[in-house]
Amino acid sequence: MRRAIEEQGAAAQVSAADLANATLSAQSALALAYVQLRENDSLYDLFVETVRQCQRSLDITQNQYNAGTAVKSDVITAQALVLAAQASEINTGVARQQNEHAIAVLMGLPPSELSIPHAPLAQGIPAIPVSLPSTLLERRPDIAAAERAMQAENAAIGVAFGGYYPDFTLSGAFGYIGDPFIKQIAGANPAWSYTFSLAQTLFNGGFDRRAGGGGARGL
């Protein structure tokens, strides 16, 4: 019984660790979506500047072609660069909207109710103290779940070994027996019973033979 309780307790802790792991996964997805959104903001600023520079280069090439110092292929190449930069700018804006919608969903909000202002990606990285012990890894929910699962399996082995020992059961009951129609002139008779059983594996070759006994008495 003790090993069975230990097994069930470890199984409950596994469920709690799995829940914590699912929560951590959702939080990690939220953080990743935010970082990607800020990355899209930085890329958008970069492509806006790229489009401006490519357009300026196209204007110069067009003027050179009009003056007779450049060929038509140079103008076509400059136009292709402008179109490619504009396409990248549009794709970055679409990716930003997708990440913003993902953030809203992970926060439990409709996408239409969340609007994140444009801002560049932070350049600095949070400082991690070198004094942090490696034992912090043991606090990861997935590692804790694996540890508790192993503990539950060990307890299950103890439960299986417990099947080789006798199993005693003692139960009893007490009450009253009487006729409800004559309860005013005759009281109810007390009655009690007890049961004792013993179970022991005699032979384990694909089936079990159990021995048991019991008794009952009433007044």
- Classify residue 132: in a domain, yes or no: no
If asked whether residues 184 and 78 sit together in one domain, one would say no
If asked whether residues 147 and 188 sit together in one domain, one would say no
- Looking at residue 210, its pLDDT comes to 43
The model's pTM: 0.57
If asked whether residues 82 and 33 sit together in one domain, one would say yes
8 A C-beta contact, residue 166 and residue 183 = no
Q: What is the SS3 assignment for 214? A: coil
pLDDT in tens, 133-163: 777 776 777 777 788 888 888 888 877 777 6
If asked whether residues 57 and 113 sit together in one domain, one would say yes
pLDDT in tens, 48-104: 999 999 999 999 999 999 998 889 999 999 999 999 999 999 999 999 999 999 999
**How many Å apart are CA 73 and CA 176, to the nearest integer?**
109
pLDDT in tens, 176-203: 666 655 555 555 667 778 787 877 766 6
8 A C-beta contact, residue 75 and residue 58 = yes
If asked whether residues 213 and 148 sit together in one domain, one would say no
If asked whether residues 101 and 11 sit together in one domain, one would say yes
If asked whether residues 81 and 175 sit together in one domain, one would say no
8 A C-beta contact, residue 215 and residue 197 = no
- Looking at residue 173, its pLDDT comes to 81
Domain holding 210, by residue range, is 166-218
If asked whether residues 24 and 76 sit together in one domain, one would say yes
CA 194 to chain centre: 50
- Classify residue 130: in a domain, yes or no: no
91 versus 215: which is more confidently predicted?
A: 91
